[in-house]
Amino acid sequence: MCLTSASRLQQEVIGMKVGTKIKCGRENQIWYLKISKLALAFAIIHSKPPGKSSKEYTEHLAKTVSEQDFGWKWKVEVLEAEVLRLRQELLLNRICPRFCLENRKPETSAETLLDRECVNSATYSSQLEDSGCDVSNDSAFDSLGIASDFHQSEHNVSTSNWWLERVPPLNLCQTSKEKFLTAPVQFLQHLLEIRKLSEGGILQADFSELESDSFTICNSVSQMLDALTVFYNSPKFPVSAFLTEAVCVLINLITDTKLSNYVLKKCFKKLEEFKKNLIQIILRNSSVNRFQALHSISQTLVLLGRNNILRNSLISLLLSEVRQFAEQLLQAHQVQSVYDITRYENIFPLCMILEQLLQNETEKSSVSSSGYEGEEKIKFLKNLDQIILHLSDEFPLFSLYLWRVNVLLNSAQMQID
């Protein structure tokens, strides 16, 4: 009733303007918007029920409309997710029409891993009642452990006796952070498995189809990265095997010689955003039980840094963050002002990641002079000796990390020279 009145009143007001100077472009849009707002205001006043003020009636209408919008948004999201699932199945069929997982071992299934975590969730919840300093579950975060988990799944793929007929449906679950990962993880797992089998001569696959359907792989990778970011923002411990598997899939996807070209070409910006988000999550985390979470994120960043393309940009980001913090800490120290102790504690994981990536670089025979060897390295090394000198007495550990990074950067430069 109110909207009908608004439309009628709007037409009357616009009709009164006939014969006036016609506005064009943006001025016409602004004029139309003002008229629409005025018409809506008159309609609300005219149609409000007795006993209610105009403000109360307006709030009631806004709530009704927002509830309707929320319902439509939810339906749209469900339909978009279903469309993506169907496109994933179609793309897998186009890459390898005879692909299926009927004989796949259950321990490597994303669905089975997820179901196992749901069954054991009650047991897990009782294992973490103290602070985050407990390292009894470090194996869940250890990079070697993650790598070995996926190597085992690769072994299962290569030794299984597969007869390939069709692609099984990918389940779409939206009831938890873990279940939101199911569809993209399964799809990307299937791509890796097809790649492994085609490499062994068991299958014939046409991966050029990925180039013609970049939307599906981009959306799948983006969905997985968004879900991982949500988890890292509010992690649940111990980390489930399914989430460990998701990280394994991501790492192996960007390191696979065949698939990484498609993924990095189409999803590079999303991966860069993912790295920036993880770094900021480390710096901003102020929870008392945060140290397990920081260690988990650190291991993920180190694994991402194993990729040559992602490593240089990651080192640049880390150099920038550590440099900015060092300058801020020096300024606070010089004027004897209070500094953020939480941020000071959180900077050490970034220093350790940076040191490990640089250490890996110096151990290689050929060291790239691009990326972090440019502007960020120059900024980092500028006045670094003075910063270390002034901070060494009060902040010896941080100064030591700065010195070690300085040595590694200079060592890398010596190898280049």
Alpha helix (H) ranges present in 120-204?
Answer: 121-125, 143-159, 177-180, 182-199
Whether pTM exceeds 0.75 = no
Read off the amino acid at residue 200: G
What is the reported pLDDT for 366?
47
What is the reported pLDDT for 2?
53
What is the reported pLDDT for 278?
95
| 54 within 8 A of 48, measured Cβ to Cβ | yes
Write the pLDDT tens digit of every residue in 41-54.
878 787 888 878 87
Please list the pLDDT of the chain residue by residue as tens digits (417 residues).
Answer: 454 555 554 555 445 444 444 445 677 778 888 888 788 787 878 788 887 887 787 887 777 777 666 667 777 878 888 888 899 999 999 898 877 644 344 344 445 544 554 544 444 444 444 444 444 444 444 443 444 444 444 444 333 333 233 333 333 333 455 667 888 999 999 999 998 888 888 888 888 888 888 889 999 999 999 989 988 988 777 777 778 888 889 999 998 888 888 888 889 999 999 999 999 999 999 888 888 889 989 999 999 998 888 898 999 999 999 999 999 999 999 998 888 899 999 999 999 999 999 988 776 644 444 445 578 888 899 889 999 999 999 999 999 999 999 999 888 665 555
Q: Which two tokens stand for residue 351?
A: 């220093």
Residue 338 Cα distances to 33, 196, 331, angstroms:
50, 55, 10
User: Is the Cα dihedral 295, 300, 303, 309 positive or negative?
Assistant: negative
**C-alpha span between 310 and 303 (Å, rounded):** 10
What is the reported pLDDT for 179?
64
Tokens 């390898």 sit at which residue?
96
What 8-state DSSP symbol labels residue 237?
S
Read off the amino acid at residue 71: G
**C-alpha span between 223 and 30 (Å, rounded):** 37
CA torsion 24→25→27→29, rounded to 10°?
110
Angle between helices 214-233 and 241-255 (to 10 degrees): 140
What 8-state DSSP symbol labels residue 130?
S
What 8-state DSSP symbol labels residue 247?
H
Q: What share of the chain is helix, strand, coil (3-state, %, to 5)?
A: 75, 0, 25
Tokens 């439509």 sit at which residue?
72
**C-alpha span between 119 and 413 (Å, rounded):** 52
Tokens 């949500």 sit at which residue?
230
Tokens 């490499």 sit at which residue?
199
